[in-house]
Structure 1
Amino acid sequence: MESGKTPPGDNSAAGWRVYHDKGPVAERLMMSTECEIEVRTATVGDLRSTAALHVAELPHGLFPRLGDGFVRRWHRAHLTSPYGVALVATSGGDVVGFALGSTDRPANVGWILAHHRRELLLAGLRALLARPVLAAGFVRTRGPRYARRLLGRGAAPARVAGKGDVPEAGFGSIAVLEAIVVAPDRQGRSIGATLAEAFLFDVAAAGVDRVELVTKAGAAGAAGFYERAGWHRVGAHVDRDGDEVITYRIDPRFVRAR
Structure 2
Amino acid sequence: MDAEMRSAAYPSPALSAPRWSPEGPPAGAMRADRQPADSGFRIRLMGHEDLAFVVTEHLRHFPDGFFARLGPKFLTAYDRTYLTGPDARAYMAEVNGQPVGFIIGGIDPAAHRRHVLHEHGRGLLLRALGSLCLQPRLALHFLRTRLVRYGRKLIPNRGAQQTSVLGHIGVTAVLDYVVVVEHARGRGIGERLIARFVKDATDAGCVRVTLVTAAEGGAGPYYEQHGWLYQGEIRRSEGRLLLAYDFPLRDG
TM-score, structure 1 normalization: 0.77
Amino acid at match of 1:46: D
Give the equivalent residue in structure 2 for 1:189.
187
Alignment of 1:235 onto 2:241: no
CA contact (8 A) 2:232 2:243 kept: yes
Q: How does 1:121-200 map to 2 (within 5 A)?
A: 121-147=125-151, 154=155, 156-158=156-158, 167=165, 169-200=167-198
Give, in angstroms, the shift of residue 202 of structure 1: 0.9
Deviation, 1:43, is 1.0
- CA deviation map 1:1-60 (0-9, x unaligned): xxxxxxxxxxxxxxxxxxxxx9527699622x4x52211111111111111111111234
8 A Cα contact 2:74 2:128, kept in partner: yes
Which one scores higher on RCO, CA 8 angstroms, separation ≥ 6?
Answer: 2
Q: What CA distance in whole angstroms lies between the structure 1 residues aligned with 2:159 and 2:118?
A: 11
The alignment partner of 2:165 has SS state of coil
* Residue aligning to 2:23: none
SS in 1 for 2:40: coil
Correspondence for 1:47 among 48, 51, 64: 51
Tell me the residue number matched to 1:105.
109
Given the alignment of the two structures, is residue 120 of structure 1 paired with residue 118 of structure 2, yes or no?
Answer: no
Partners of 1:212 and 1:135 in 2: CA distance? 29
Gaps of 5+ in 2: 1-27
Among candidates 220, 225, 234, match of residue 222 of structure 2: 225
Equivalent residue runs for 1:1-20 within 5 Å: none
Output the TM-score relative to the length of structure 2.
0.79
Say what the alpha-carbon RMSD is for the aligned residues.
Answer: 2.7
Q: What is the CA–CA distance in structure 2 between the aligned matches of 1:218 and 1:179, rounded to whole Å?
A: 17
Aligned length: 224
Aligned partner of 2:243: which letter?
I
Q: Mark the runs of 5 or more structure 1 residues left unpaired by the alignment.
A: 1-21
- Is the deviation greater in 195-204 or in 135-144? 135-144
- Within the alignment, does 1:62 sit opposite 2:101 as a pair? no
Contact 2:51–2:76 at 8 Å: present in 1 too?
yes
Q: Deviations over 1:90-118 (max 9, x none)?
A: 12332211111111112211221122110
Paired letter, 1:216 = A
Call closer, same or farther: CA 1:133–1:111 in 2, change over 3 Å: same
CA shift for structure 1 position 226: 1.9
